[in-house]
Structure 1
Amino acid sequence: MILPVVRRETGDAPLASTLHPVIDRIYRGRNVQDISELENGLKGLTHFNELKGMAGAASILADTIEQDKTLVIVGDFDADGATSIAVCIRSLHMMGFKKVDYLVPNRFDFGYGLSVPIVDIAKQQGADVIITVDNGIACIDGVTHAKALGIEVIVTDHHLPGDDLPPADAIVNPNQPGCTFPSKNLAGVGVAFYIMLALKTELQQRNWFTKKNLPAPNLASLLDIVAVGTVADVVVLDKNNRILVHQGLQRIRAGKCRPGIKALVEVANRDCAHLTSTDLGFVIGPRLNAAGRLDDMSQGIACLLEDDTMQARMIASELDALNRERREIETGMKAQAEQVLEKMSLAEGDIPAALVVYQADFHQGVIGIVAGRLKEKYLKPVIAFAHQDEATIKGSARSIPGVHIRDVLDEVNTRFPGVIDKFGGHAMAAGLSLPVANLAAFQKAFIDIAKQHMDKLDGNQVLLSDGSLTGQELSLPFAHLLRQAGPFGQGFESPLFDGEFQVVQQRLVGEKHLKLVLREPSVGEVDAIAFNIDIKAWPNAMVKQVRIAYRLDVNVFRGQESVQLIIEQLESA
């Protein structure tokens, strides 16, 4: 679908005379009001004391360490959950505490979160205290069961809470009622990092490190893991999250990262020194996620916890193989889903305001990615369903800006009680489960309510561009300057430019990517690539001039750097 390209509104007053004019324009187009908003030093982080429930959580954890109790961490089966667990375990080990274990519910056997069966397993492992990371705010039954067994529970999460909160001993979640923490966009790993900062301070006040003759750990050394989880979970990069990502990215680029992260970068044929925030989400994140999607997330966690370089490379290679398998499954499922949509379109004459796709043989580990791909193609909210068991299907939802998908599901649940079993999530992504017998009723209710939300959007969707670039700006020095201007990501989008170019060469690479050489009078020739193009339409020898929306990138091949345009939208001019 070709979208209109609209230049961002930036206002007239520059932010600072020291900024390159294009960089200044990019910042103003993202509503940066003051140059101070761009400071990426650790001193700019909001203090952990501003998180509601933090003092109680840190006190319980410190008691756990001092009294040598057994702590079990219960995480989620995605990259945010894996990085959250890794940050906690590495931090606790640095603080001299070893009686810690972790559990990640296998999505195929247990589903999501701190369920009653997972609590029973934690009890079998000798848990005196359970701390959830990246889950727990909706796990009322699990927390209640743990309390009945005499286990203390700390819930740390970032998902939006429901009407009722679990009866935990402490809850740390920036989105819980009464929490004034300004960054509501912390990922689960961000919350976990803050918990560890608070615990370190609590232990220092108890003279723990002096008694044990231990140095107080430098927890900033774990920001490479925090950056990966934050970007991979596609949370909004507000100022606080940009600091976390920037600091972690700097450590990775300087080679001061975990052996597992370095191995994941290398197995993807990338170079740590040239890594961008986008790479954290598209290179490292999918390989970690592949373990939880197809197998067991403990493999991804093991990679982040491994200190031996050779062992880390072996685990990273296994994760890379899982990721290739995941891509193959995803490609097949996407083709099936599009066949379903084609039939729907033929029957109804038009694609509805929101899409629901389901096939009995869909793989539940990949439905979120399929939903995301379809959302990008059709620019509508999408839910993809797969079987959880014979009677129940599990859905993964992805939405577009302006349609809060969790609010849509909440409205469906309120107006049609009993159709959905359970749901949770964010503005852009959510998960749910329901009886397969309810699918038709749910689909109608979801599409009707989503349409009401879609109707409130202001007409056509557009691509927001930061303008065109001159020949001087389509250069390696400016491309490097642009990289340093980040980190960019969700809510602080990577710069997008537009322009018309003459096509010098075009050819297919990797079966579905279009490699081009383009020319523009003031620019000269420049390489470009468009990923996952419609191979029915491209290459096209008849097209001599193209209009593109693109991102400026640095391509590194055999140690040589060159400018490359990453094409986001391509059309004949």
Structure 2
Amino acid sequence: MTRILPRPVPIRAVTRLLEAGTHPLLARIYAARGIENREELDYSLKSLLPPTQLKGVREAAEILADAIEAGARMIIVADYDCDGATACAVGIRALRAFGADVGYLVPNRFEYGYGLTPAIVELAAKMEPDLLITVDNGIASVEGVAAAREHGIATVITDHHLPGDELPEADVIVNPNQPGCAFPSKALAGVGVMFYTMLALRAELRERGAFEGKTEPNLAELLDLVALGTVADVVKLDHNNRILVSQGLQRMRADRMQPGIRALFAAAGRDAARATTFDMGFALGPRLNAAGRLADMSLGIECLITDDISRALNIAQELDKLNRERRAIEADMQEGAMAELDGIDPGTRSTLTLFEAEWHQGVIGILAGRIKEKFHRPTIAFARGNEGELKGSGRSIPGLHLRDALDLVTKQAPDLILKFGGHAMAAGLTIRENDLARFQALFESVVHGLIDPADLTRNLETDGALEDSLYSLETARLLEREIWGQGFAAPVFDDTFRVENQRILKDKHLKLQLRKGSTRIDAIQFNHAAQAGPSIHAAFRLAVNEYNGVSSIQLMLEHFETA
């Protein structure tokens, strides 16, 4: 069941925004998202939080500056998603611009797992580094850091994930979520943490006179990478993250981006001059992620660090091919999952736990997300991992902190989960295959005790009705230029329409022609094959449809019901 609920709109905030010159529609939308004054919409670089409050960043800058001066060999140990790839690219590009001897290592996720494990340290040691730098991982790598220490290798951890009960004994940790860190924005992605570390390093090198007689590297040139990783990792777009994303988008639209970003736009068939957060989250990000899900993320990193546009274009085409393969695998898995769920009424359950022997490890996270969206239940999908083990990826709903739920499961059955980690809305874990039924039962029991039954009904918040005069290309362009994402949701409106025409496309998408007053509007709902009645109450996004060089507005339906 889905309930359409209008967001409350604080009138005083709307008034202040209007008085500051904000567009009336945007004033209403922003006020509903907690914006109270125009300063919160200032996305200039001067409004960016300074690195000084980020615990450990000054020490990291000193260690890295010492390493550069000593000609030490550095290796970045990257994660295998878009955030990890962009963070690695930011580190490689910045450190090389500073004169560092730096390479990278991104282990195959299926062989080595996640984080700086002892096995990865052994792999890295063959490259004879003096220093390992983690990006988007490492906060839980207690054993891996200890292994590096045994090899005489220093470690700098840059991460944004929540820490466990024990921190690794690294030379320094930079993570806004570590104990004692006063950095105001806890929502930095891994790429954001690395960008801040490079800002601090540049300041340290500047103090040491490293740039005298030279052109100082402009780290703003890396903001397209920071924006992509931030949006793709679905972290909360607080004010600081919106600045990073806005600055990156401006560079993309002005054609001042890395060759790899330009190549990804080309492979996705998107116009960078009109780049949006939607492009990053649903076109560029998935193509990079496909490398980590099905092959080796070094392919994605190479795309982002090369300065050769021809090479970048070739790699982007490979990534596009992998993404098509990933989508085909996902479609097969989703079909199997839906067959397994056929006949099950999720209304009697608080969770869904799924496993099929042939499922691909790299795609179970996406599958869990799709099932969660359909049934609005915390969902974990498992695939076979190492001998006798299952690797799971979970997605949650508002009202349940998934990592905390898994932590409670381990407290009730310490031998059940071999390892786990993650966030409120997403987590990963490993269990023994013969413990699946026991896990399924205990996870259901724990979540049932934690979650409010009301949270199991999907609430679709909207920004109310759209005035007839605002069903226009001008309005759609206005909205697509803004910064939207996790925690700062893109506008969704709702209203009642008369259905004048409808048909099913490719057996799975509903295409409609709607009428509102004297206005006729095209609409579509993807992955929805049930036809509508003569009148509907619909929640929708206003979008621009490009076809044969002609632009028109189109409603992207999120949900509808008979009016």
* Shorter-chain TM band: over 0.9
Task: Mark the runs of 5 or more structure 2 residues left unpaired by the alignment.
Answer: none
Distance 1:562 1:423, change over 3 A: same
Aligned residue for 2:174?
Answer: 172
Q: What is the deviation of 1:350?
A: 5.0
Residues 540-555 of structure 1 aligned to structure 2 (within 5 Å): 543-555=533-545
> How many Å separate the matches in 1 of 2:365 and 2:8?
33
Aligned residue for 2:527?
Answer: 532
Aligned residue for 2:250?
Answer: 250
Residues 410-449 of structure 1 aligned to structure 2 (within 5 Å): 410-449=407-446
**Is this contact kept in 1: 2:377–2:456, CA < 8 A?**
no
**Is this contact kept in 2: 1:465–1:498, CA < 8 A?**
yes
> How many Å separate the matches in 1 of 2:230 and 2:73?
28
Q: What is the deviation of 1:96?
A: 2.3
- Does residue 566 (structure 1) correspond to residue 563 (structure 2)? The answer is no
Aligned residue for 1:461?
Answer: 458
Q: Which amino acid aligns with 1:547?
A: H
> How many Å separate the matches in 1 of 2:214 and 2:390?
50
> How many Å separate the matches in 2 of 1:511 and 1:456?
34
Q: What is the deviation of 1:20?
A: 2.3
Aligned residue for 1:505?
Answer: 501
Q: What is the deviation of 1:513?
A: 2.2
> How many Å separate the matches in 1 of 2:255 and 2:523?
29
2:55 to 48, 52, 55: 52
- Does residue 93 (structure 1) correspond to residue 89 (structure 2)? The answer is no
Q: Which amino acid aligns with 2:81?
A: D
How many correspondences in the alignment?
559
> How many Å separate the matches in 1 of 2:356 and 2:505?
31
Aligned residue for 1:186?
Answer: 188
Aligned residue for 1:318?
Answer: 318
Q: What percent of counterpart residues are identical?
A: 52
- Does residue 75 (structure 1) correspond to residue 71 (structure 2)? The answer is no
Q: Which amino acid aligns with 2:243?
A: I
> How many Å separate the matches in 1 of 2:63 and 2:385?
36
**Is this contact kept in 2: 1:48–1:197, CA < 8 A?**
yes
Distance 1:370 1:186, change over 3 A: same
Per-residue CA deviation, residues 449-486 of structure 1 (Å, 9 max, x unaligned), is 111222265674311110111221111122222223x2
**3-state SS of the aligned residue for 1:567?**
strand
Aligned residue for 2:107?
Answer: 105
**3-state SS of the aligned residue for 1:421?**
strand
> How many Å separate the matches in 2 of 1:270 and 1:387?
36
Q: What is the deviation of 1:510?
A: 4.4
1:496 to 492, 495, 498: 492
**Is this contact kept in 1: 2:399–2:455, CA < 8 A?**
no
Q: What is the deviation of 1:420?
A: 0.5
RMSD of the TM alignment (CA)?
1.5
> How many Å separate the matches in 2 of 1:430 and 1:22?
37
Residues 199-278 of structure 1 aligned to structure 2 (within 5 Å): 199-210=201-212, 213-278=213-278
Q: What is the deviation of 1:572?
A: 3.1
Q: Which amino acid aligns with 2:252?
A: I
> How many Å separate the matches in 2 of 1:322 and 1:408?
34
> How many Å separate the matches in 1 of 2:436 and 2:366?
20
In the superposition, the TM-score normalised over structure 1's length comes to 0.95
Aligned residue for 1:137?
Answer: 139
**3-state SS of the aligned residue for 2:11?**
coil
> How many Å separate the matches in 2 of 1:422 and 1:49?
34
> How many Å separate the matches in 1 of 2:109 and 2:370?
21
Aligned residue for 1:36?
Answer: 39
In the superposition, the TM-score normalised over structure 2's length comes to 0.97
Q: Which amino acid aligns with 1:196?
A: M
- Does residue 63 (structure 1) correspond to residue 58 (structure 2)? The answer is no
Aligned residue for 2:336?
Answer: 336
Residues 315-394 of structure 1 aligned to structure 2 (within 5 Å): 315-342=315-342, 345=344, 351-394=348-391
> How many Å separate the matches in 1 of 2:526 and 2:307?
35
**3-state SS of the aligned residue for 2:62?**
helix
**3-state SS of the aligned residue for 2:342?**
helix
Per-residue CA deviation, residues 13-54 of structure 1 (Å, 9 max, x unaligned), is 123222222211111111112221111111111111111011
> How many Å separate the matches in 1 of 2:238 and 2:348?
34
Q: Which amino acid aligns with 1:60?
A: I
**3-state SS of the aligned residue for 1:209?**
coil
Distance 1:286 1:498, change over 3 A: same
Aligned residue for 1:147?
Answer: 149
> How many Å separate the matches in 1 of 2:121 and 2:250?
38
Q: What is the deviation of 1:336?
A: 1.4
**Is this contact kept in 2: 1:130–1:151, CA < 8 A?**
yes
**Is this contact kept in 2: 1:341–1:357, CA < 8 A?**
no
* Bigger mean CA offset, 19-28 vs 364-373: 19-28
> How many Å separate the matches in 2 of 1:456 and 1:183?
31
- Does residue 450 (structure 1) correspond to residue 447 (structure 2)? The answer is yes
